[in-house]
Chain A
């Protein structure tokens, strides 16, 4: 990444700032989870999208939003055995 100073941003720093960024060791599960969260975040962020989905599912906008928010917690089910999902841990443990 070329950032203004020219110095590369450290991986952890980058991750702290932009949670959805990845690295060469990222598992498929993590990546797809991020993908889902980004998708929901985008839905929630654009009111027109949100109301579209509300109409399509015949729910209120508020409920749709709540549903999306809840799905963001664990969008793709449990992680595979031996794989730990950091974001989830963080959310559960406070």
Chain B
């Protein structure tokens, strides 16, 4: 799993110490054999058992497993954590039970489980399902639906046709082999037209709608409107005014006007306008339509642009196309798709259901049956929910959007029960994909807001499903689980949450307790920790069962993990609540209490030591008394508390703790070793500890026990040893540590060498090479050269090791850079090694060698080895024919480093030879190659453009256009800025020509990048070089081009800022036109341009032009589409800055009390915007209002004058 950083808490979530992901460790689960009150003997056995750690529930807290989750493979075969997580299917759902009943049932359960264990003695038959098995006896117990589902759907990977999916309702287990009765006829019989949905592609109701579908897919931005496909002239009209342009242009414009201003047909109007509230008025009797034949002739479509393939085409207006539904027409006109009430009523189920995946048949299968005529009301409702869920789960984005809105709006009418009865099984489905889970979580979130306390009866049901998400291995699943639970607790309220979850606190099943404690922590953070404190206090003092105490303490731990430093206000209370646990009679409780102290101390670092005063004594006592696993927990707590202490105390406690730690250095147990290392690191890090003491007391033992080959074999040990050594080095100095380990660089074991190298890297990074003497320096260089050359080839090829293959490379680079000029004597040797390795057969070796050049180029320059670098440059140049893209990328990177360091003039090979060699490489599609190549080219264009002919630069320009399509943003950015450099070098004309042509392409991203490039060219070469051509391009009657021009203007004004004042009068007519265009994107983009323009020219005396523009912007406030309205508001905000809020206020006042609500709403929105930005300045702009009866509205103070 990659490490997505955890927002505010940084990497803490993945810090091995935080316990946030201890799901992986925790999964080694409670040993079922451990009876509730183990005898002393049992306890000892548990402690001593070699594998005992792994089976104990708290193991995960003490000993964190690594992120990569691979585990150390002790268990082999079946992944135990997987099994643990599978237990979510075993949860029993208490439906319709009162709190009292639930508590009675749980108590019974626990007693029964204990009895059972006693009866069973040592036999280990009580499997994880024990709790559930017991439950079946009771009449109340409801066998959860998930169980059945998961059993019946055993063969998960079945093919769709081999086996008929079972319908969820056909519950009987035997049904899995039999063909389900409900729909059997449909499957064997030849499909009748309308039931053949199975083989038909995405269930569309009418046959003809496939065409409409195709139409709908195309978004306006991506495609040029049909008639415009013709402007065959491939270049900009301005620059190459060929004859064809001259004739074609008027036609195209006319056609464009024609199609945009065509008369509205009845069909279109019917589709767009609501059916109610509008009447069709007869035309006035005096109206005479124009029927002059001459006009008709003129406006008849003429075939123009002889090169278009279809002769001539005329765009068919959307409402006249075949097979158009009402929705299609609306969509074509950009009218938001809101189904009319009768459409909803008729059940949208019938139209266009998304494809149902075979795995989902058990949930949605019923939608395929056709008997929707005689459905009861309930069934109809259920069916409707099902449809909506299916659309949300696997529909297209627009479908999903509408379905989401409908399900939210109607949440209350549907009711909590029917909704959750369908959503929750879906969430439990093993075939659920991440994306689908995310969508369902979103659904729950939304309906929770709507349902509020109606959700109460289902809280337990929801929790049972959501809690497992809290220990999911996927980070986002955990976050989503938290989100739902937090919203749920806000909707249901604290008391409901507590009474629902209380019975689970002393559940005999550890899995339930684990998830419950996490859920409680989420509730606490959602509703405030202080509200939960009395409850926690009571739970942690429970006499009845140690499980309750254990869970209570664990809740506190989870709160600390979840909330971080936000626990500080309640720290004292929380510590007091768990302090009893440290001396609990039950070892598990003692351990979790110690771990909780550790978590709290970690969360509150570096504050709050005074809150821990009460527990320090018992921690200390615990550390002296316990051994084995218990000791590890207490040591961990001490390790986290010490860094909070004052210097003198920290030093005192370190000295006290050190003998124990040193004693445990010998511990054969790996986990104990890790804890000890961590604690040593924490103790040493405090400022009260003297270097002298460390040198004498700790170092000898430390190196003897931990700097051994075996430690390098386990990844977690490896990391911990390096971290601790780094911390020790910070105290005792660099050379002290380096002398001890430097010779191990020549050790036989590769992982050990790597560990040494990584430590040296870290130490040198932190401390520099100041105290490295000459002898050590020699040994160091010798060692790194050996380690570099001896590294296993395959280790560096596979990325499977993560960053491991880079260790040697990074180490080498760091050492050389740390030594700086002192490297000079060794550079020859190093360069020799590099050259030798550049010739190696293995691609990875060549790649590493060229990467190394990139890393040490600066040092080489500092040592004055320019000749050597020139030589390396030539060598790299010769390798440009490299066929492995990864290696080629590295070679280009190395070349760039060399060029950067020695400059354009001194570079060998000379730039004029180098660049032509790079042009074809730009065509390479590999990302790494592209990125490094464009960087190098951009560098040359920036610094040494004069070495290369203008022709070559133009060639590169064409290649660069392709790079604008790159997926990686860095590449696109580099390409765009390179356009700027090139334009600066060879003048903007030709570059601009190329770019303007590129506005015609279909690919949106490419056009956007092109507009950015145009704007950059305008910025570097002065807007006056670009604007004429750009504005002329606007005359081309193609949506894409015009929008591109507007976008380029917008970017340009953003970049040039104040300079805009010289151009505002020039562009105003263009913007004016665009702001009146029928196309919403035109208006949106020009609004963005107005925003940037007005922000740039604020206070520069262009108010007249801006007011003019404001008059064109203003009507757009009634736009419905969110993008357009946002852009409009942005423009108004910008104008507010330039023109002052009072002026905008005068516009706004006109509509604040308009009779139409829709109008009022938007005007108030603008008013609020003004108010937020500049309430103070509005005081002078408010209108004078006449008094009414006893209310005096005049603001008399404003009339005072002296």
B1126 engages A38 (CB within 8 Å): no
**Is the CB of A91 closer than 8 A to any CB of chain B?**
no
Within 8 Å of chain A (Cβ to Cβ): is B1153? yes
Please determine whether B1179 and A39 come into contact, CB atoms closer than 8 angstroms. yes
CA distance A42 to B1175 in the complex (A): 9
Chain A positions within 8 Å of B1026 at CB level: none
Output the nearest chain B residue to A49 by Cβ-Cβ distance: B1197
In the assembled complex, the CB of B985 is this many whole angstroms from the nearest CB of chain A, namely 38
A23-B1164, A39-B1179 known; A1 vs B1201 contact (CB < 8 Å): no
When chains A and B are docked, how far (Å) is the Cα of A80 from the Cα of B1190?
9
Residues in A with CB closer than 8 Å to B1176 are: 38, 42, 45
Stretch in contact with the other chain, from B430-438, B893-901, B1166-1174: B1166-1174
A46→B1126 CA distance, assembly (Å): 34
Q: Which residues of A contact B1198 (CB under 8 A)?
A: 39
Complex CA gap A20/B1130 in Å reads 21
Known: A29-B1191, A56-B1202, A77-B1190. A18 touches B1160 (CB 8 A): no
Q: Are B1168 and A56 in contact (CB under 8 A)?
A: no
Residue B1182 lies at the interface, judged by CB distance under 8 Å to chain A: yes
A2 adjacent to B1126 (CB under 8 Å): yes
B:362-415 near A, CB below 8 Å: none
Pick from B1169, B1193, B1202: contact of A1, CB under 8 Å: B1169
- Residue in B closest to A32 when the chains form the complex, CB atoms: B1193
Q: Is the CB of B1164 within 8 A of A57?
A: no
Task: Flag if B1161 contacts A32 (CB, 8 Å).
Answer: no
User: Shortest distance in angstroms between B664's beta carbon and chain A's nearest beta carbon?
Assistant: 50
Complex contacts, A2 vs chain B, CB 8 Å: 1126, 1129-1130, 1133
Interface of B is mostly: helix
Across-interface contacts of A20 in B (CB, < 8 A): 1171, 1175
- The answer to whether A18 touches B1172 (Cβ under 8 A) is yes
**In the complex, B1195 has a CB within 8 A of chain A:** yes
Q: Is A35 within 8 A of B1182, CB to CB?
A: yes
B residues near A55, Cβ cutoff 8 Å: 1202
Known contacts A35-B1182, A43-B1197; is A22 also within 8 Å of B1168 by CB?
yes
B contact residues around A57 at 8 Å (CB): 1200
| Residues of A contacting B1179 in the complex (Cβ-Cβ under 8 angstroms) | 38-39, 42
* Interface flag for B1192 (CB, 8 Å): yes
Minimum Cβ distance to chain B for residue A76 (Å)? 5
Query: Measured between alpha carbons, how far is A15 from B1198 in the docked complex, in Å?
Result: 27
Q: Is the interface of A mostly helix, strand, loop or mixed?
A: helix
CB distance from A36 to the nearest CB of B (A): 6
B532 contacts the other chain (CB 8 A): no
User: How does the 8 Å CB contact mask read for B1148-1170 relative to A, with 1 for contact and 0 for none?
Assistant: 00001100010011001101110
Known: A2-B1133, A53-B1197. A28 touches B1153 (CB 8 A): yes
Interface assignment of A14: CB less than 8 Å from any CB of chain B: yes
A3 to chain B, nearest CB (A): 9
When the two chains form their complex, are residues B1172 and A35 in contact, meaning their CB atoms are under 8 A apart? Answer: no
Q: Is A21 an interface residue (CB 8 A)?
A: yes
Within 8 Å of chain B (Cβ to Cβ): is A26? Answer: yes
In the complex, what's the smallest C-beta–C-beta distance from B1172 to chain A, in angstroms? 6
Which residue of chain B has the shortest Cβ distance to A45 in the bound complex?
A: B1176
Q: How far is the CA of A14 from the CA of B1190 in the complex (A)?
A: 31
B1095–chain A nearest beta-carbon distance, Å: 14
Mark contacts of B264-308 with chain A using CB atoms, 8 A cut-off: 1 yes-contact digit, 0 otherwise: 000000000000000000000000000000000000000000000
Query: Is B1202's CB under 8 angstroms from A36's CB?
Result: no
A24 at the interface (CB under 8 A from B): yes
Assembly CA distance A56 to B1201 (angstroms): 6
Of listed B1161, B1167, B1195, residue having the most chain A CB within 10 A: B1195
CB distance from B752 to the nearest CB of A (A): 50
Q: Counting CB contacts under 8 A, is B880 at the interface?
A: no
Please tell me if A88 contacts chain B, counting CB pairs below 8 Å: no
Within 8 A of B (CB), among A7-61: 14, 18, 20-24, 26, 28-29, 31-32, 35-36, 38-40, 42-43, 45, 52-53, 55-57
**Is there a chain A Cβ closer than 8 Å to B141's Cβ?**
no
Q: Tell yes or no: A84 within 8 A of B by CB.
A: no
Among the listed A1, A24, A35, A77, which residue makes an inter-chain contact with B1192, where contact means beta carbons less than 8 Å apart?
A77
A36 near B1195 with CB under 8 A, answer yes
A2-B1130, A24-B1164, A39-B1197 as given contacts; A31 in contact with B1191, CB under 8 Å: no
A14, B1172: Cα distance in complex, Å: 9
- Complex formed: what's the CA distance from A21 to B1185 in Å? 19
Q: Which residue of B lies closest to A21 (CB)?
A: B1168
B1178: Cβ under 8 A from any A Cβ: yes
Q: Which of B1133, B1161, B1191, B1195 contacts A39 (CB 8 A)?
A: B1195
Given A20-B1175, A21-B1171; A78-B1190 close (CB under 8 Å): yes
Provide the residues of chain B in CB contact with A68, threshold 8 Å.
1197
Is A82 in contact with chain B by the CB < 8 A criterion? no
- Residues of A with C-beta under 8 A to B1160: 24
* A1 to B1133 CA separation, bound complex (whole angstroms): 9
- Residues in A with CB closer than 8 Å to B1200 are 52-53, 56-57
How far does the Cβ of B605 sit from chain A's closest Cβ, in whole Å? Answer: 31
How far, in angstroms, from A24 to B1155 measured CA to CA in the complex? 10
Q: Which residue of B lies closest to A68 (CB)?
A: B1197
A14 and B1168 contact, CB distance less than 8 A:
yes
B190 nearest CB across to chain A (Å): 52
Pairwise interchain contact B1164-A26, C-beta atoms closer than 8 A: yes
Q: Which residues of B contact A40 (CB under 8 A)?
A: 1197
Name the CB-closest residue of B to A29: B1191
How far in angstroms is the closest Cβ of chain A from B171?
A: 43
Are B1197 and A18 interface neighbours, CB within 8 A?
no
The residues in B between 324 and 382 inclusive whose CB is less than 8 angstroms from any CB of A are none
- Per-position 1/0 for B652-688, Cβ under 8 A of A: 0000000000000000000000000000000000000
Docked CA distance A23–B1164 (Å): 6
A94 at the interface (CB under 8 A from B): no
Return chain A residues, CB-CB under 8 Å to B1182: 35, 38-39
Complexed CA–CA distance, A12 and B881 (Å):
65
Q: What residues on A are CB-neighbors of B1191 within 8 Å?
A: 29, 32, 76-78, 80
Nearest CB on B from A41, distance (A)? 8
Closest to B1198 in A: A39
The interface residues of chain B lying within 8 Å CB-to-CB of A1 are 1129, 1165, 1168-1169, 1172
Contact mask for chain B residues 823-857; partner A; CB cutoff 8 A; 1 contact, 0 none = 00000000000000000000000000000000000
Shortest CB distance B1180–A (Å):
9
In the complex, A80 Cα to B1175 Cα: how many Å?
Answer: 26
Give the complex CA separation of A84 and B1133 in angstroms. Answer: 33
The answer to whether A22 touches B1167, judged by C-beta atoms less than 8 angstroms apart, is yes
Instruction: Point out the residue from A18, A77, A78 that lies within 8 Å of B1168, measured CB to CB.
Output: A18
Residues on A with C-beta less than 8 A from B1202 are: 52, 55-56
The distance from the CB of B1122 to the nearest CB of chain A, in whole angstroms, is 9
Inter-chain CA distance A53–B1130, complex, in Å, is 37
Query: In the complex, what residues of B have CB within 8 A of residue A36's CB?
Result: 1195
In contact, A38 and B1178 (Cβ under 8 angstroms): yes
CB closest residue in chain B, given A78? B1190
| Contacts A53-B1200, A77-B1192 supplied; 18 other A-B pairs, CB < 8 Å | A1-B1169, A14-B1168, A20-B1171, A20-B1175, A21-B1167, A22-B1152, A22-B1164, A22-B1168, A23-B1161, A23-B1164, A24-B1160, A38-B1178, A39-B1179, A39-B1195, A42-B1175, A52-B1202, A53-B1197, A77-B1191
6 sampled A-B residue pairs with Cβ under 8 A: A1-B1129, A21-B1172, A52-B1200, A52-B1202, A53-B1197, A55-B1202
Which residues of B come within 8 Å of A, CB atoms? 1126, 1129-1130, 1133, 1152-1153, 1157, 1160-1161, 1164-1165, 1167-1169, 1171-1172, 1175-1176, 1178-1179, 1182, 1185, 1190-1193, 1195, 1197-1198, 1200-1202
Q: Which 10 A-B pairs have the closest CB atoms?
A: A24-B1160, A21-B1168, A56-B1200, A42-B1179, A24-B1161, A77-B1191, A76-B1191, A39-B1179, A35-B1182, A32-B1193
The interface of chain A, by Cβ under 8 A from chain B, is 1-2, 6, 14, 18, 20-24, 26, 28-29, 31-32, 35-36, 38-40, 42-43, 45, 52-53, 55-57, 68, 76-78, 80
